[in-house]
Structure 1
Amino acid sequence: MENAVPLVEVWRGALLESTHSGHAVVCDTSGNIVAAWGDPEAVIYPRSSCKMIQALPLITSGAADRYGLTSEQLALACASHNGAAIHTTRVERWLDQLGLAESDFRCGPQDPADKAAHDGLIRSGQQPCQIHNNCSGKHSGFLTLNRYMGGGPEYHEVDHPVQQAVLAAFEEVTGEDSPGYGIDGCSAPNFATSLHGLARAMAWFASAGSRSDQASAAAGRLVQAMMAHPELVAGEGRACTALMRALGGKAAVKTGAEGVFTAILPEQGLGVALKIADGATRASECTMAAMLIWLGLLESDNPVALDYCNAPIRSRLGLDAGVIRPVAGFIRPI
């Protein structure tokens, strides 16, 4: 990616071993850039960092209320979960509620990241199914919207009414016409936008409580659900869950594949979007933690902040070998 700037350093002993470059943008409620690193107009696929946008039509259509969805289900609709029992049992109940089955999903099977769930499948001689897919909550939302709309079974196709509703919401909140889409790992289209557009969308979510329109009310419900159920948005050992717990309801954060991360900051009316050029998750997590510290939402000595912003590198014997940290001077005053 052009014009990316160094954001994260990887030190081993006294030697700078690696550097991760990228782009980051902070927007206010007017969509104006408050701060930026790299190129704010760089066009990216948001991947899973925009799941709260993809979930908007689930509420604005009336489908969520028609089927009595809870805040837990709304959190799962925004989730990239570990496939742990707390996730899969809820997805199974959601399907039952709709009178649907695992075969109605179009996300594909995935081995669960949760170790207990992974080991349990091996011991029982079972194969992972689509319910274990980290996007099965999002796809449950798609199925709910599709059932409400009376659409055909291939809800993941870009010209399907479900995905066209997602596209309309995506372009509305980013303030941009999407230049195209790619197929995400869960087989749904992922619409491209600029980092500026993605940060603008996060700021729109952050200021939802100050508006009274239907879409803003939906956005507020999704943000509150994410903050209320961080364990459902990702899972144990995951940055999204750990950071939201540490933030104590001050922000909703969401990771995406290939080094994308977003944050919604309701108290400050700000939105954050970042992209690591080489797609490294360790760098996106470090950068997001650093930005939350810089924005005054997280203390630099908070154990969770230290886990990601100054992540220790240890040998297999547990020896202190190095650190992953923001580049010198990255955190600067607004």
Structure 2
Amino acid sequence: MTDPVEMTEVLRGPLVESIHRGHAVICDAAGEVVEAWGDPDAVIYPRSSAKMIQALPLVESGAAKARGLTSEHLALACASHNGAAIHTDRVNAWLADLGLSDDDFRCGAHMPKDEPARDALIRAYAQPCQVHNNCSGKHAGFLTLTQHMGWGPDYVEPDHPMQRACLEAFEDVTAETSPCFGIDGCSAPNFATSLKGMARAMAWFASAQEDGGSRENAAVQLWQAMVKHPELVAGEARACTELMRACKEPVALKTGAEGFFIAIIPGRKLGVAMKCADGGTRAAECTITAILSRLGVLDADHPAARTFMNAPILNCRGIETGTIRPVAGLF
């Protein structure tokens, strides 16, 4: 086993004050490792970076087509959204089309990350609903398939047919048997795999063909929906959204909790998976930006790239105190 390697450093003045270590893997269409840092075999939870895999059964089953789901629905099924009106209005309309309500969700409620939505709830002395959960789009997808198949309502239980379908898809595209699962923040099982397995899965998405069978066709629809609607996948000022907009060619990006990030690069049939060992979001965002720049799909001087990589750190008076940057050799 290889230890995590230095990936992102934080400077204050002339000194490196903090160093984030981690692992990263780039795989090609054959599932082979093109480049790696740290331990490609490290066993990880991909967390929300796996949402497009969890959405595969929704599309390949025919449920999405039967319910008339659009690319906006599919982007939301892959999203960790901010809970802004552009997200919650669409998910609520989706639920209404299913004849369901917020009570049918099993994701739990939390305050939205979107400041106007959060402030509106506070001013109204209102509590957030489950639709504000960043995973509510994924759960609307779960409910759609559950309803289409006539399965029971507790769709997040590990032995529920919904989650068994997710596990089958997960093990297929990672080409690995998942050794275990943990319960995610939204209460659904999150299946473990190796970092290489996750990169392999993203490369599979990147090389999928519309005429390659129902699963590959579903993969194409999902990554295309993410690229078409980056604002629905995360939200304004979020790395997923801003970097997808900034890339010079179609790239689907998705963050996951505890410092995880993936990239699907269809034009090059490459998949990327990276994990910051300490779970730091700032390091994951800097590292994935550096890898995208290294691969030539993102201009390192693009304003969006500079937001997350080689970005100035300002104090409360707006004085620049340091910077966050990839370590030498990563980019």
TM-score normalised over the length of structure 1: 0.98
Instruction: Please give the alpha-carbon distance, in whole angstroms, between the structure 1 residues aligned to 2:211 and 2:247.
Output: 24
Q: How many residue pairs end up in the alignment?
A: 331
Partner of residue 214, structure 1: 214
CA distance in 1 between partners of 2:92 and 2:255 (Å): 24
CA shift, 1:209, in A, is 2.5
One-letter code of the match for 1:277?
A: A
Rounded Cα–Cα distance in structure 2 between residues aligned with 1:81 and 1:2: 34
1:220-259 equivalent positions in 2, closer than 5 A: 220-247=220-247, 249-259=249-259
Structure 2 unaligned blocks of 5 or more: none
- Is 1:128 equivalent to 2:128 in the alignment? yes
| Letter paired with 2:65 | D
- Counterpart for residue 304 of structure 1: 304
**In structure 2, distance between residues paired with 1:105 and 1:248:** 37
Give the structure 2 partner of residue 72 of structure 1.
72
Distance 2:188 2:106 in 1: 8
Shift of 1:211: 5.2
What CA distance in whole angstroms lies between the structure 2 residues aligned with 1:163 and 1:185? 15
3-state DSSP class of the match of 2:272? strand
Q: Distance in 2 between matches of 1:274 and 1:211?
A: 30
Distance 1:117 1:320 in 2: 30
Once residues 288 and 181 of structure 2 are traced to their aligned partners in structure 1, the CA distance between those partners, rounded to angstroms, is 25
Structure 1: which 4+ aligned runs deviate by more than 6 Å?
Answer: none
Checking the alignment, whether the CA contact within 8 Å between 1:184 and 1:190 is kept in structure 2 is yes
Query: 1:249 Cα shift?
Result: 4.9
2:291, 2:330 within 8 Å by CA — same for their partners in 1? no
* Letter of the 2:195 counterpart: L
Check the 8 A contact 1:228/1:249 in 2, yes or no. Answer: no
Shift of 1:269: 0.5
Offset from partner CA, 1:196-249 (integer Å, 9 cap, x none): 000000000000127521100000000100000000000011000000011155
Structure 1 residue 305: deviation in Å? 1.0
CA contact (8 A) 2:248 2:297 kept: no
User: 1:21 corresponds to which residue?
Assistant: 21
Q: SS at the partner of 1:75?
A: helix
Determine the structure 1 residue equivalent to 2:287. 287
CA contact (8 A) 2:226 2:233 kept: yes
Using the aligned pairs only, state the percent identity. 64
Secondary structure of residue in 1 paired with 2:268: coil
Deviations 1:1-32 (A, max 9, x none): 96100000000001110000000000000000
Partner of 1:34: 34
Rate the CA distance shift 1:327–1:77 in 2: closer, same or farther, 3 A.
same
Q: Any idea what the Cα deviations from partners look like across 1:160-206, whole Å, max 9, x if unmatched?
A: 00000000000000000000100000000000000000000000000
Alignment of 1:44 onto 2:44: yes
Give the alignment's TM-score, normalised by structure 2.
Answer: 0.99
What's the secondary structure of 1:50's corresponding residue?
A: helix
Which whole-Å CA distance do the structure 2 matches of 1:289 and 1:210 have between them? Answer: 29
Does the 8 Å CA contact 1:209/1:216 hold for their aligned counterparts? yes
Give the letter aligned to residue 199 of structure 2.
Answer: A
Measured in 2, the distance between the counterparts of 1:194 and 1:294 equals: 23
Aligned to 1:7: 7
Deviation at 1:125, TM superposition (A): 1.2
Residue equivalent to 2:88: 88
Root-mean-square deviation (CA), in Å?
1.0
Alpha-carbon separation, structure 1, partners of 2:153 and 2:226 = 28
The answer to which of 30-39 and 203-212 deviates more is 203-212
1:124, distance to aligned residue in structure 2 (A): 1.0
Task: Give distance in 2, aligned partners of 1:301 and 1:131.
Answer: 37
* In structure 2, distance between residues paired with 1:199 and 1:254: 12
Per the alignment, residue 328 of structure 1 pairs with: 328
- Contact 1:46/1:198, CA 8 A, preserved across alignment: yes
